[in-house]
Structure 1
Amino acid sequence: MTPASATTRFSASLLSLLCVAAAVTALLFDEPTISFSEGFTHLFGNDNFIRSADDRSVRLTLNRYSGSGFISSDLYDHGFFSASIKLPKDYTAGVVVAFYTSNGDIFPRVHDELDFEFLGNVREKDWRIQTNVFGNGSTKRGREERYLVPFDPTEEAHRYSILWTPDHIIFYIDDVPIRELVRTEELGSEFPSKPMSVYATIWDGSAWATSYGRIKMDYQYEPYAADFSDLVLRGCRVDPVQQVDAADRCAEAVEDLMSADYARLTPMKRAAMRRFRERYMIYSFCYDQHRYGNVTFPDCDYVSPEHTRFGEWGDNQFPPEEIRRRSLRRSRKTSAVADSSSQ
């Protein structure tokens, strides 16, 4: 079965899955949304950053001169972070839209990060979603997973959420859990544990984003626009200078966070997550022997349907330049922060 025919076949079943799960978990995301100015501030991009008149949504654009982005006004000691995102239309090869948490500006060598990255493509080809986890500066071996996007993310906004507690991390798409990372003793410091900010950006990822950099951005289609709305920041705010008391001061807030419905994966939600992963995950670091050889990660379990999909899609065939991709992305994000401080 070719990737194109597989996508067509699986699209209807995922939409059905999302609808069923949303109906079952309708109250999971009963979190108040905030205005932009209540929790965020402009990061970089000047005229490429457009705030709505009612302050409830933001448009980030990318052209040949600059991308754009915003950042939470505070650091958070764990939390639940969510946004509805509508991605750019038409030819989007090389475009990267990101919704993520990081503390790289404070801990550049031992930083933590949780990523939702949206990877553009040529016209009539699917966007792909990538999640990644870095803990304590473990950038040499990111925990990347990549999934098909069987709905059209350019037609309407979809909700993307990250739950981060001291015990586990869960990524959600439209109320469906798609990935969980559980903290274990074996995982050690590679589980993100330091306070992080929340970011949203759009930038030129031509070096790696589409077909591993073989297809570049075409600026005749500029500007590329991504819309962010329904912003949610739930967590314990932390002073970036006085972080030593964060654990004690935030204990009650973290306990409250861990008691939320979306922090508990019931058997029904686990079944929905398993179906999603078996049908739509096309890459996982767990199965990538080209990059990691026979290294065994403590957070990996062998799941036969996932491994089969991994092999079918060929996303394990990394060209040599892929080795440099992570450092390029890190430098891109770092330069974005640097640009913001000079504007």
Structure 2
Amino acid sequence: MHSPIERKQPSFSLFLFLCITITFKIAIAFNIAIAFNVSTLTFGESYSPLFSKFNIQLSPDDKTVRLLLNRFSGSGIISSDYYNYGFFSASIKMPSRYTAGIVVAFYTSNVDTFEYNHDELDIEFLGNVQGKAWRFQTNVYGNGSVSRGREERYRMWFDPSKDSHRYSILWTPKNIIFYVDEIPIREVIRNEAMRGDYPSKPMSVYATIWDASSWATNGGKKKVDYRYQPFIAEFKDLVLQGCVVDPVDQIPSSNCSDSNAALMAADFATVSAEARKSMRLFRQRYMYYSYCYDTLRYPVPPPECLIVPSEREMFKSSGGLKGKIRFGGSNRRRRRAKRRSDAAIAASGR
């Protein structure tokens, strides 16, 4: 990683990692209890199998679904309905042990209905090499603009295979927010100059696990190792909150006006000052690629990009991090900066 653990201080590094993990668990548990006022659904109320039903396992109470990947196939589920904007969430526990090359995805899309001009909102978990932090990315596509993807990539500050954590996508006519637990990590505010690049057509919600050995981990250098199969991603606390529509209806449904107004009035539809502080700290600490700073790909930043000078200084023209600029100075100073950053994110997330 960008700040490798020094061999001379393994005990201190382990202690620091445990302290940070415990701090975040306390904050996350508090947040889940009081923050988002949403109702959860059973699998039968919300989803159906998408592919490889033989690799999908349901709990006896129908509240938890396990998606398996083995050498025969991955697996996936799809929401039973299409939504015209909404809030979509699930508590997910990632596969454990060696998971290089594996992608677990929670996302919205309408590619099945709009093959050539589909919309999509992605949260994709990119596996890990044992002992290293997991990485994940978010992406936004609108109107088939696959050549204009809006990727951001991040490192996890916890091990997502140890416990379930809540991941959420808010999608309204005005903004898109990605959440990890109740901490916002990214907001896209609709800009009229985006035109059709802002997702606006009804979408389904998907959850999948699959073999992405060709690209997911270290650019494809690390492959899926099926000696550790089956790889299991667990989904529970399923939330699908939005206006259900017919995806092929060419006339926007007036029935969604009240639903969308209620959606935009919800507590999770606005990033408060404290939550924005959490988001800023998260991005400074854990974001390692942003399309907004990729001037090789976009000489002129896309219209929705809000260029933050402190962020811009961190990135090369390729949109990737500039070496160790994130924690300049001595190792001791870098460790102090990390402790302060993690503690501040946890505190402001409450």
TM-score range, shorter chain: 0.7 to 0.9
Larger Rg: 2
Preserved contact between residue 146 and residue 282 of structure 1 (Cα < 8 Å): yes
1:198-209 equivalences in 2 (<5 Å): 198-209=205-216
Deviation at 1:131, TM superposition (A): 0.4
Number of matched pairs: 315
Match 2:287 to one of 277, 281, 291: 281
User: Which shifted more, 207-216 or 63-72?
Assistant: 207-216
1:194-241 Cα distance to aligned partner (Å, 9 max, x none): 000000000011111001112111111111100000000000001234
Indicate how the Cα distance of structure 1 residues 51 and 23 shifts in structure 2: closer, same or farther if over 3 A, else same: closer
Distance across 2 between alignment mates of 1:94 and 1:255: 41
Partner of 1:258: 264
Partner of 2:328: none
1:194-343 equivalences in 2 (<5 Å): 194-246=201-253, 248-290=254-296, 292-311=297-316, 315=320
Distance across 2 between alignment mates of 1:264 and 1:293: 28
TM-score under structure 2 length normalisation: 0.83
SS in 2 for 1:37: helix
Deviation at 1:78, TM superposition (A): 0.2
Distance across 1 between alignment mates of 2:187 and 2:264: 14
Distance across 1 between alignment mates of 2:22 and 2:113: 40
Partner of 2:127: 120
Partner of 2:184: 177
1:143-158 equivalences in 2 (<5 Å): 143-158=150-165
SS in 2 for 1:137: coil
Deviation at 1:263, TM superposition (A): 0.6
Indicate how the Cα distance of structure 1 residues 175 and 268 shifts in structure 2: closer, same or farther if over 3 A, else same: same
Distance across 2 between alignment mates of 1:314 and 1:14: 28
Distance across 2 between alignment mates of 1:307 and 1:18: 30
Indicate how the Cα distance of structure 1 residues 241 and 189 shifts in structure 2: closer, same or farther if over 3 A, else same: closer
Instruction: Say whether residues 1:160 and 2:167 are aligned partners.
Output: yes
Structure 1 unaligned residues grouped into runs of 5+: 318-343
Structure 2 unaligned residues grouped into runs of 5+: 7-12, 323-350
Distance across 1 between alignment mates of 2:260 and 2:306: 28
Q: Which amino acid aligns with 1:79?
A: G
1:46-83 Cα distance to aligned partner (Å, 9 max, x none): 22111111100100010111000000000000000000
Q: Which amino acid aligns with 2:305?
A: C
SS in 1 for 2:187: strand
Distance across 1 between alignment mates of 2:30 and 2:220: 39
1:278-304 Cα distance to aligned partner (Å, 9 max, x none): 1111111111234x0523211222224
Identity %: 53
Q: Which amino acid aligns with 1:3?
A: S
SS in 1 for 2:209: strand
1:61-109 Cα distance to aligned partner (Å, 9 max, x none): 1011100000000000000000000000111110000000000111111
Partner of 1:327: none
Q: Which amino acid aligns with 1:226?
A: A
Partner of 1:326: none
Match 2:52 to one of 45, 49, 72: 45
Deviation at 1:242, TM superposition (A): 3.0
